[in-house]
Structure 1
Amino acid sequence: MPRRTILIVEDERSLAEVLAYNLESEGHEVHVARDGRDGLSKARALLPDLIVLDLMLPVMDGLAVCRELRSDARTKGVRVLMLTAKGEEVDELVGFHMGADDYVTKPFKMKPLVARVRSLLRRPDAEEAEADKVSGAGLEVDRERHTATAGGEDLNLTPTEFRLLWTLMRQPGRPFSRHELMDASRGGDANALERTIDVHVRSLRQKLGDRAETVETVRGVGYRFNENAVAAD
Structure 2
Amino acid sequence: MATEVKALIYIVEDDRNIREIEGYALRNSGFEVEVFETGEELYRALEKEIPELILLDVMLPNEDGLSILSNVRKDSKTENIPIMMVTAKTTEMDKVKGLDLGADDYITKPFGIMELVSRVKALLRRAGGNGQNVGALSFHDVSLHVEKHSVTVDGESCELTYKEFELLRYLLENQGIVLSRDRIMERVWGFDYEGESRTVDMHIKTLRHKLGAGGDIIKTVRNVGYKIGD
Quickly name the TM-score band, shorter chain normalised: 0.5 to 0.7
Rate the CA distance shift 1:52–1:171 in 2: closer, same or farther, 3 A. Answer: closer
Give the aligned partner of residue 227 of structure 2.
224
Q: How many angstroms apart in 2 are the aligned matches of 1:180 and 1:57?
A: 34
Contact 2:57–2:85 (CA<8 Å) still a contact in 1? yes
State the alpha-carbon separation in 1 of the partners of residues 206 and 95 from structure 2: 49
- The answer to whether residue 179 in structure 2 is matched with residue 178 in structure 1 is yes
CA contact (8 A) 1:133 1:142 kept: yes
C-alpha spacing 1:129/1:152, structure 2 compared with 1 (3 Å): same
TM-score (norm 2): 0.62
Q: 1:156 aligned to 2:153?
A: no
**SS at structure 2 position matched to 1:67:** helix
Say if 1:188 and 1:135 are closer, same or farther in 2 by CA, change over 3 A: closer
Q: In angstroms, what is the RMSD of aligned CA positions? A: 4.5
Pairwise CA distance, 1:82: 1.0
Q: Describe the superposition over 1:136-186 as per-residue Cα deviations: whole angstroms up to 9, x where unpaired.
A: 67755332344557764532243xx544421333466x3x22369828962
Whole-angstrom CA distance in 2 between matches of 1:58 and 1:190? 35
Deviation digits for residues 188-226 of structure 1, max 9, x if unmatched? Answer: 968687x97x54541222322534544212358753336
- For the residues of structure 2 that align with 1:53 and 1:188, how far apart are their CA atoms? 28
Structure 1 counterpart of 2:26, which letter?
A: L
Instruction: Name stretches of at least 5 consecutive residues in structure 1 with no aligned partner.
Output: 25-29, 227-233
Q: Which residue, out of 212, 215, 219, partners 2:218?
A: 215
Q: Is the 8 A contact 1:134 1:169 kept in 2?
A: yes
Task: Give the alignment of 1:24-63 within 5 angstroms.
Answer: 24=30, 30-35=31-36, 36-43=39-46, 45-46=49-50, 48=52, 50-55=53-58, 61-63=64-66
Q: Cα 1:98–1:63, aligned 2, differ >3 Å: closer, same or farther?
A: same
Distance 1:214 1:200, change over 3 A: farther
Count matched residues: 208
Check 1:80–1:96 CA distance in 2 against 1; reply closer, same or farther (3 A cut). Answer: same
Per the alignment, do residues 34 and 220 of structure 1 end up closer, same or farther by CA in structure 2, a change over 3 Å counting? same
Amino acid at match of 1:18: A
The Cα shift of 1:124 comes to: 8.6
Question: Is 1:81 paired with 2:72?
Answer: no
* Kept after mapping to 2: 8 A contact 1:46/1:167: no
Give the counterpart letter for 1:207 in structure 2: T
Length-normalised TM-score, structure 1: 0.61
Q: Distance in 1 between the 2:171 and 2:82 partners? A: 21
Q: Percent identity?
A: 27
Aligned to 1:21: 28
Secondary structure, counterpart of 1:169 in structure 2: helix
